[in-house]
Structure 1
């Protein structure tokens, strides 16, 4: 007999950010390769033209750009991106002025040597999570590359020829971000929100259950009593009056109505956990860590108070690690809840680490996260590599209503 397994997929917003980050990191790798490969080509061109004596100066400019690019990749943040664009633009400008001053004919005969540093300014926005932000960074880099070409030509007094390299780079790179923006917009319009559909289906099922139960109650009380009155040939006896009173009490009590509601919807602990997460996010924002919360917001969280406290403390420990060790000023919490489990993923794009290389005497993750969650029958998974950020998936089993509400 064949069995099918349910495959868990990332929420739509998280998947978009993963793809956008992958695109920006790929462009960062291309930019680094372009700078490195420019070095032997530059050496060959200048030596062939008899300009080997001035070779060291443009090579230093390339080295500075490589260092700034590596720094923005190792510690991706807004500050390192700004530093890369500012320092890279200055280095690219000095590079172009040095070459044009030494040989103005390079502007037409070897323009590819001149515009390679300016071209990589377009591709330097590493670990960008939002398509619109990536589009803005790439356009800013393109404008700076044009400024480098214009200023260097004016300083040396040669015709302005920025070359096609930066334009091609911005068309391809920014085009990828535009495509992601369009795809996301189309998905939001055409693909239904499965979480909302599930909630609507649950609501309709409750309404149908209510209608059936109400019909049964009316049949068993009102209609039954009216039938007894209509078929009575004499005065109503005391026994019948007691039954009528009991039926009226049943309708007034409305216990049958509460039984028709979704048990998870009456859980008061849902608000407690969400408020605790919001307070945690606010606390870390005051401490300098920007935390973005995504995932399911309409689904009711059903979890025991003890497991909820453990989950909050484990998430706090993860955010502490991001603040202290990740070398980044932003993180993301992805909250997901089902009938079986409540899951929180803590994601950062910091320096990362090797989980297998953690010393035995280091108790941070083991005690504050793993041991704390496994004590409540939960699980913790960690993905991290040096230079690629860290993701910690914390999952705690869901609870029955009588466990949630003492």
Structure 2
């Protein structure tokens, strides 16, 4: 088996075909050269010196072979076969008439031009067409030789050499055809598997977004209401519920580039609109949020990444307000060459991540899952009594990346 050195299957197969084509051309050319040498020797040893005329009919085969090698076209190939068949017929007729007994005993000298044509007629891209052309070349060569022999009244022995050489090329071409069919089937199977994997991945991401959305809206608001005394809702709660209902009604669990929160941004020194809304909502709910650092880098995200960050920050701040026991959180931003790091920390009571029940989706889906789905990474530092800190590392839009200094 030839080594492919890690090349793609298509490139490897192409290299093998080109190697076979070059080897076939070399063998065919060698066969014609040997035929010419044998004709010269036969002419020298013949008292009538009539065999030299056979050399004349090797020339058209050589010329047609060169044209065929330069132009891999079906019409050129058909013309090549026609020229080769006529030339082989005259070539064989001259040699049989010059020495009928020797030719009848050993048709080797008649086999060489046929072998040359068989080995050089196959196209560079093997396959079904190659099989047809190889068999056609063999049959035309045999018919030309037998026609010349019958015209001279001397029928030669069966040409085992040409038949064996043709069989070798036919086997190679047939094996290539089967390999192509198998490769095409493998490619289709891989394409189907990739399509199914992409569909499954998309479905999983969509389910993750839906779970996170309902956790951040319905479950979050119900939790807040369960801790409120009976009576009318406050303006902030009413606005939050109306906003969440609108979010669900719009089907915004899969943000796009056009409508994602954060697509519209303010000036570079200010927070993007989506993140500014998150901070303002937290302030209205009684949580003070300090934002510091490289705020301009928050404008380097794509709209989808900005939306994921805004939603993750929103849930993080909700968790601070509901569970930390403090009324202040801090956000620090640091811009890097191809990413932005956002740190969110509070000095509250903290928690044990291992003790969080598996059916609680706030941290795993609404925060870490959203950042992960946006192509980012998250780190969490917390323990009971020591506060909580998240670090989000998110990729920037390609046009906003720079070379590291």
TM-score higher than 0.5 here? yes
In the alignment, the residues of structure 2 paired with residue 216 and residue 40 of structure 1 have an alpha-carbon distance, to the nearest angstrom, of: 84
Equivalent residues in 2 for 1:3-18, closer than 5 Å: 9-10=7-8, 12-13=9-10, 15-18=12-15
Q: 1:236 to 1:46 in 2, by over 3 A?
A: farther
In the alignment, the residues of structure 1 paired with residue 61 and residue 197 of structure 2 have an alpha-carbon distance, to the nearest angstrom, of: 56
Equivalent residues in 2 for 1:221-236, closer than 5 Å: 221-230=217-226, 232-236=228-232
Correspondence for 1:70 among 66, 69, 89 = 66
Alpha-carbon shift at residue 254 of structure 1 (Å):
3.1
Alpha-carbon shift at residue 68 of structure 1 (Å):
1.5
Equivalent residues in 2 for 1:109-148, closer than 5 Å: 109-125=105-121, 127-148=123-144
Q: 1:225 to 1:169 in 2, by over 3 A?
A: same
Correspondence for 2:145 among 142, 149, 166 = 149
TM-score normalised over the length of structure 2: 0.56
Alpha-carbon shift at residue 211 of structure 1 (Å):
2.0
Q: 1:401 to 1:151 in 2, by over 3 A?
A: farther
Instruction: Single out whichever of 76-85 and 215-224 deviates more from structure 2.
Output: 76-85
Indicate whether 1:48 and 2:84 are aligned: no
TM-score normalised over the length of structure 1: 0.56
Which runs of 5 or more structure 2 residues have no equivalent in the other structure?
258-396, 401-405
Which runs of 5 or more structure 1 residues have no equivalent in the other structure?
1-6, 261-399
Alpha-carbon shift at residue 128 of structure 1 (Å):
2.2
State the match for 2:177 in structure 1: 181
C-alpha contact (below 8 Å) 2:118/2:137 kept by paired residues? yes
In the alignment, the residues of structure 1 paired with residue 59 and residue 185 of structure 2 have an alpha-carbon distance, to the nearest angstrom, of: 47
Instruction: Single out whichever of 95-104 and 85-94 deviates more from structure 2.
Output: 95-104
Indicate whether 1:243 and 2:248 are aligned: no
State the match for 2:35 in structure 1: 38
Alpha-carbon shift at residue 193 of structure 1 (Å):
5.7
Q: 1:151 to 1:63 in 2, by over 3 A?
A: same
What secondary structure is seen at the aligned counterpart in 2 of 1:256? coil
Correspondence for 2:216 among 209, 217, 220 = 220
Alpha-carbon shift at residue 33 of structure 1 (Å):
1.1
In the alignment, the residues of structure 1 paired with residue 82 and residue 398 of structure 2 have an alpha-carbon distance, to the nearest angstrom, of: 57
- Give CA-to-partner distance per residue, 1:142-164, whole Å, 9 cap, x none: 11122113212221222253411
State the match for 2:76 in structure 1: 80
Decide which structure has the larger Cα Rg and report it: 2
Alpha-carbon shift at residue 184 of structure 1 (Å):
2.6
In the alignment, the residues of structure 1 paired with residue 189 and residue 153 of structure 2 have an alpha-carbon distance, to the nearest angstrom, of: 59
State the match for 1:167 in structure 2: 163
State the match for 1:369 in structure 2: none
What secondary structure is seen at the aligned counterpart in 1 of 2:95? helix
Q: Which has the higher contact order (CA 8 A, sep 6+)?
A: 1
In the alignment, the residues of structure 2 paired with residue 22 and residue 193 of structure 1 have an alpha-carbon distance, to the nearest angstrom, of: 29
In the alignment, the residues of structure 1 paired with residue 68 and residue 184 of structure 2 have an alpha-carbon distance, to the nearest angstrom, of: 32
Correspondence for 2:100 among 101, 104, 109 = 104
C-alpha contact (below 8 Å) 2:93/2:145 kept by paired residues? no
| RMSD (Å) for aligned C-alpha atoms | 3.1
